Amino acid sequence: MCSIISCCGPCNQPDLVKACFDRSLSRGPDDTRFIDTGNGFMGFHRLAIMGLSPQGMQPFELDGSYVVCNGELYGFEKFKQQLADRYVFQSGSDCEVLLPLYREYGAGMFNLLDAEFACVIYDGNTGEYIAARDPIGIRPLYYGWGESGAMLFASEPKDLIGLCGEIRPFPPGHYYKAGRFVPYRDISRTERVCHDDMDTICENIRAKLTAGIKKRLVSDAKLGFLLSGGLDSSLVCAVAQRYCKTPIRTFAIGMEGDAIDLKYARQAADFIGSSHTQVIITRQDVLDALETVVAVLGTFDITTIRASVGMFLVCKYIHENTDIRVLLTGEISDELFGYKYTDFAPSAQAFQKESEKRIRELHMYDVLRADRCISVNSLEARVPFGDLDFVEYVMSVDPEKKLNTYGKGKYLLRRAFAQGDFLPEEILWREKAAFSDAVGHSMVDYLKEYAEGLYTDKAFEAKSKSYTHARPFTKEALLYRELFEKYYPGQGQLIDGFWMPNPEWEGCKVDDPSARVLANYGASGE
């Protein structure tokens, strides 16, 4: 990961902006640079991943124009080849192609990118700033207005606390130019429905996911893999191992005493031949990490915080005990193929609509979790299930085929890898268990128990009523909101609300986001 900041116009307190920017120094601990554009300034914290030499340091400059980008541009080599007769490239960095592309295509360049990115460009010819974010929002970007009236952009909202009044997430799939946000790609919507037969669908799923994984193995820094033992992360690891000459390094985390995932992660690791590490955590580890996790995340959402505790701690272990710089993860599969609760979807159209909603919201929930837990430990996240070609195809598949009418969730994904000996049958067809539950049921129980002990019923009622947006509905939710307000005072609008199963569907009106409360949880906890 890297971190970027831009003050897009006159700035009254540049030293304060620079000090605030240091709050995200862990995203890019290798080097820091600020430049004065003549109409504002830009800052960059670097985590060197591609093009490790000093020439890869940003901001990049081209004839008085500048760019800062936190991103990975897949297939950037083809752009360099196409532009080689007109531009001289100084580094092996993928992001160096952005200014030449902008000169050639203007804002139309963003639709050409196969990338996870957030960037800000200063156009030296016009004196204006242009910002953009990838269609899913895998890389973070936030904005607000400073006291001088200038727009500020930053990788994390914590860098804008004290500089801006209201802070908002930059909308994924948009660019900002001339004072307005312009949509350039809505990855959640499909213009056509794909009516391929089942075999063709599964062949395409397998081919496109494999391609998405392969392209994310390209790195000048060392790779690692999070392996929960669930379907999604296990598939990423299994495919990656096929294209790596040496054993990949996999990591799993679980609670002392009742970890569900650890045995499955070990089974998957032994099967694919990875070099595997288990991290065991205790009740005290969980409680000690909680406030830090909320401060890191910038959310009050129950699901996100629960799932982040284990992820934060395993990433902390990796940072402190290895030289790995890049982590591949299994996020974004659920939004495409279904959660436990989407088994209750009343129709194929309802399933598709829910999937579209979840894809649009990812940047506030699962994607936010992965980014913050990984980046705060000076690591970079890569998300193969977020590959744009893959997402676009799966979203276009006839939703009738994505409904769970097979007696097994995510059937298309499982069937796509049923041939080829990728995983043991027990892993490939294992019932889904949410990460926060599978780290160990006790982890969530400890968090709820801790929160219950902090508030009387009367205090809970009184404190909850003070929030008009996303009012806490349990003592656990109140605890998280109060911790959030400590670090992000008055910024509740950063998150739309609580991630919960669709309450309009029969069987989904629940008071806890855990899949454990659903009637179809079944063998998921075994």
List, for residues 141-162, the tens digit of each pLDDT value: 999 999 888 999 999 999 999 9
Inform me whether the pLDDT recorded for 53 exceeds 70: yes
CA distance linking residue 391 with residue 336, whole number of Å: 7
Q: 91 and 56 in contact (C-beta within 8 Å)?
A: yes
CA distance linking residue 77 with residue 100, whole number of Å: 13
User: Alpha carbon 3 to chain centroid distance?
Assistant: 15
pLDDT score for 245: 94
What are 82-109's pLDDT values in tens digits?
999 999 998 989 999 999 999 999 999 9
Strand order in the sheet with 115-123: 60-62, 65-73, 115-123, 128-133, 174-177, 180-183
What are 443-460's pLDDT values in tens digits?
999 999 999 999 999 999
Q: 186 and 135 in contact (C-beta within 8 Å)?
A: yes
| 298 closest CA partner among 363, 385, 386 | 363
- Which of the 8 DSSP states describes residue 255? E
Catalytic annotation on 20?
Answer: no
Inform me whether the pLDDT recorded for 1 exceeds 80: no
Share of the chain above pLDDT 70, in %: 98
Pick 31 or 191 by higher pLDDT.
31
pLDDT score for 400: 97
The stretch 343-348 carries a mean pLDDT of: 96
Angle at CA of residue 312, ends 391 and 31, nearest 5°: 85
Question: Could you tell me the pLDDT band of residue 525, with boundaries at 50, 70 and 90?
Answer: low
Q: 313 and 289 in contact (C-beta within 8 Å)?
A: yes
CATH class of the 3-183 domain in this structure? alpha beta
pLDDT score for 82: 95
The boundaries of every CATH 3.60.20.10 domain in the chain are 3-183
Alpha helix segments (H runs only) across 417-511: 425-428, 435-438, 441-452, 457-464, 475-487
Q: Is 383 exposed, middle or buried (0-12, 13-18, 19+ CB in 10 A)?
A: buried
| 114 closest CA partner among 148, 87, 145, 79 | 79
Residue with tokens 């030289």: 323
Pick 291 or 148 by higher pLDDT.
291
Architecture of domain 222-452: 3-Layer(aba) Sandwich (3.40)
What are 375-427's pLDDT values in tens digits?
999 999 999 999 999 999 999 999 999 999 999 999 999 999 999 999 999 99
pLDDT score for 136: 98
Q: Catalytic one among 2, 8, 11, 315?
A: 2
Q: 68 and 7 in contact (C-beta within 8 Å)?
A: no
CA distance linking residue 220 with residue 222, whole number of Å: 7
31-35, 348-352, 437-441: lowest mean pLDDT where? 437-441
The boundaries of every CATH 3.40.50.620 domain in the chain are 222-452
| 330 closest CA partner among 220, 218, 238, 422 | 238
pLDDT score for 437: 66
Inform me whether the pLDDT recorded for 34 exceeds 70: yes
Q: 403 and 351 in contact (C-beta within 8 Å)?
A: yes
CA distance linking residue 333 with residue 236, whole number of Å: 11
